[in-house]
Structure formats: structure tokens, C-alpha cells
Amino acid sequence: MELNAQNKGGKGRPLVAYFSWGGNTRSVAEQIQRAVGGDLFEIKTVKPYPAEYRPATEVAKQEQDADARPELAARVNGVDSYGVVFLGYPNWWGTIPMPLYTFLESYDFSGKTIFPFCTNGGSGLGRSVSDIQKLCPKATVGEGLAIRTEHAKSAQNDVTAWLRKQGLAK
């Protein structure tokens, strides 16, 4: 099956940008990228999060409470050439992790279509889609995909169904 993410949003190859703490969101991002093609970009912070779950979530909560913008280790070159951006993240404390705030505020997403996807322990998308809409008011934010953490590595059928529903299937 081939998917046509290039035409949704108007230009160029799709970008699959993701932040992944434990590898689950990376797994879903790779499944999306295999299906739609385009470029894969991992959003990484300069200062890594703790390797253990509880300390990592504590840091994430502290960042959220402080409205922090963690410094990112790399930038995407040529964001203007992408019409569609698949944006992946773990749902931390009901929304996107703070590195995604940094990422979304670093570029102009006007006229682009953003498709959010997240991994989560049971809270789904939370308020992440509305937070992305607030950060990118001149972008179109499509329907999001929520994948339970324990299903991330085997989510291809869910990913494919979601992409078809978005009209990205040829």
C-alpha cells in the first residue's frame, strides 16, 4: 500500500517529527514514516531526561509547572518544504512534553497540516491536540492518533487505519 501524504497540505515530502523518551513513540514514528515516506526527525533535548520512569516524569512535571522550554539539540532544515507534519510524543501529564513547545515555537507552521500522534499509558491524547492548535493557530491540526504504550511496537494496523481515515491513502 502506498500513501499520499505529499499532497495533503500542499507541498513536498512529509516530515515525521517526534520526541520519544522510552522508544515507544519512536516505534510509532518509524511505522508512520515507512507508510508515508518523507523525512524522520527526532526531537532531542540538550539535557537528557533521567533514564528511569518516575524521575523522568517528575522532571517533566517540573518543566510543565515552570512553563519551561528545554533547549533542543538539533533543528530541522527547510521546514518550509514540508506541507504535512506528523508530530509524535508521549502524553506527559495530559499534554505534549515541554520539548514540543520549544519545537513548535521554533518554526512557522502556517499553512501546514499537522497530524499529532502520541503514546500513552491510558490517557489518550489528553488536551494535546488543543494545545498544539493554540501553539500553531495558522496550521491545520488533523485528527490525532493515540496508541497505548504496550501496543506501540505492533501498532501498524492502527497506524494504517488512521492514515486512511485522514485521506492519506492513494
Query: Tens of pLDDT along 37-61?
Result: 999 999 999 999 999 999 999 999 9
pLDDT at 169: 59
> Band of the pLDDT at 137, cuts 50, 70, 90?
very high
Checking if the pLDDT of 100 tops 70, the result is yes
pLDDT at 168: 84
What fold is seen in the domain 15-165?
Answer: Rossmann fold (3.40.50)
CA distance 74 to 42: 9
Q: Where are the domains of the chain?
A: 15-165
| Torsion of the alpha carbons at 11, 40, 108 and 115, rounded to the nearest 10 | 80
Checking if the pLDDT of 83 tops 70, the result is yes
Instruction: Enumerate residues 6+ apart whose C-beta is below 8 A from 58.
Output: none
pLDDT at 120: 96
Q: Which residue bears the cell 500513552?
A: 120
pLDDT at 25: 98
Checking if the pLDDT of 140 tops 60, the result is yes
Cα–Cα nearest to 132, from 68, 73, 167, 85: 85
Checking if the pLDDT of 3 tops 80, the result is no
Share of the chain above pLDDT 70, in %: 92
Q: HSE on the CB side for 42, CA within 13 Å?
A: 14
CA distance 107 to 41: 14
DSSP state for residue 44 in the 8-state scheme: -
pLDDT at 24: 97
Checking if the pLDDT of 5 tops 70, the result is no
Cell readout for 147 is 496508541
Averaged pLDDT, 19-29: 97
Beta strands in 2-141 (DSSP E): 15-18, 39-42, 84-90, 113-120, 140-141
What's phi and psi for 79, nearest 5 deg?
-55, -30
